[in-house]
Structure 1
Amino acid sequence: MTVKSILEAKGHDVFTYGPNEKLADAIKLLAEHRIGALVITNGDRKIVGILSERDVVRVLADQGAAALEQPVRAVMTPKVNICNENHTVNEIMEIMTNGRFRHLPVEKDGRLDGIVSIGDVVKRRIEDVEREAEEIRAYIATA
């Protein structure tokens, strides 16, 4: 199972935001769409960072309400782990586990192509396990 198959099922839509926009507006977008991260891109969909709920919590704990007026670039995580459509589910699980994050942007030809969340990965793994269990039951029934 690959990232490509996940994106084929869920789509390539990603909520993005500009690095010079206010943090307060980014937080509104996270809340409105009930998402845990925004991929920060420049005008040509080149990934320049990611803003997660953890980034927001850290800066608010450190700076309080004054942080809301800062540009996203001051708060985002600039070093973004990415994957491509050929990564397997097991590979992205390892990347997410080792990095301790829940969202992994997908890049194609140097541009943002989608995003995979830990929820997408868990859903896919559960589907795989259920399919395998059904195949084993069918095999046993015919033996």
Structure 2
Amino acid sequence: MTVKAILEEKGRNVVTLTSAETIESAVNTLAQYRIGALVVTSGNGRIEGILSERDIVRVIAEHGAAALKKPLSTAMTAKVKTCSESATVNEVMEIMTRSRFRHLPVEKNGVLAGIISIGDVVKRRIQDIEREAEEIKQYIATV
């Protein structure tokens, strides 16, 4: 199973902001959409960074409430790991587990093409395991 299949099922919409917007704006956006991370992009869709709830907690711990007025560029993770649509579920599980993050932007031709979460990956993996178990049961029943 590939990332492309996950995106085809869940959709390709990604909540994005620009690096000049404030952390306060990002907090409001995360709350509005009930999500844990957003992708920071340039006007042409190129990925500049990713901002997670953890990033926000870190910057508030360091700067207090004044952090909310700072631009996203001061809190976002600029070195973003991405994957392609052809990546498999097992490959992205490995990336997310090894790097210890829950959101992975999908890039196509240098532009943001979607995002997958660990929840998306686990859901797909469980579906695959259930399908395989059913196929094994069917095979055993015919032998």
Q: What TM-score range do you get, normalising by the shorter chain?
A: over 0.9
Aligned equivalents of 1:119, 1:58: Cα separation in 2: 23
Instruction: Map residues 1-143 of structure 1 onto 2, 5 A cutoff.
Output: 1-143=1-143
Aligned equivalents of 1:118, 1:45: Cα separation in 2: 23
Q: CA RMSD in A?
A: 0.6
Secondary structure of the 2:115 match is: strand
Secondary structure of the 1:105 match is: strand
Secondary structure of the 2:19 match is: coil
Q: For each residue in 1:84-113, what CA deviation from the matched residue of structure 2 results, as whole angstroms up to 9, or x when unmatched?
A: 001000000011011100000000010000
1:61 deviates by: 1.2
Q: For each residue in 1:67-90, what CA deviation from the matched residue of structure 2 results, as whole angstroms up to 9, or x when unmatched?
A: 000000011000000000010000
* Unpaired stretches in structure 1, ≥5 consecutive residues: none
1:43 deviates by: 0.1
Secondary structure of the 1:24 match is: helix
Under a length normalisation based on structure 1, what TM-score does the superposition of the two structures give?
A: 0.99
Aligned equivalents of 2:86, 2:124: Cα separation in 1: 15
Q: Which residue type is aligned with residue 32 of structure 1?
A: Q
Q: Which residue type is aligned with residue 92 of structure 1?
A: V
1:62 deviates by: 1.4
Aligned equivalents of 1:57, 1:11: Cα separation in 2: 29
Q: For each residue in 1:4-45, what CA deviation from the matched residue of structure 2 results, as whole angstroms up to 9, or x when unmatched?
A: 111111111000001000100110000111101010000000
**Number of matched pairs:** 143
Q: Which residue type is aligned with residue 36 of structure 1?
A: G
Aligned equivalents of 1:86, 1:76: Cα separation in 2: 26
Moved over 2 A (4+): none
Q: Which residue type is aligned with residue 132 of structure 1?
A: E
1:50 deviates by: 0.2
Identity, in percent, stands at: 64
Q: Which residue type is aligned with residue 16 of structure 2?
A: T
Aligned equivalents of 1:115, 1:23: Cα separation in 2: 20
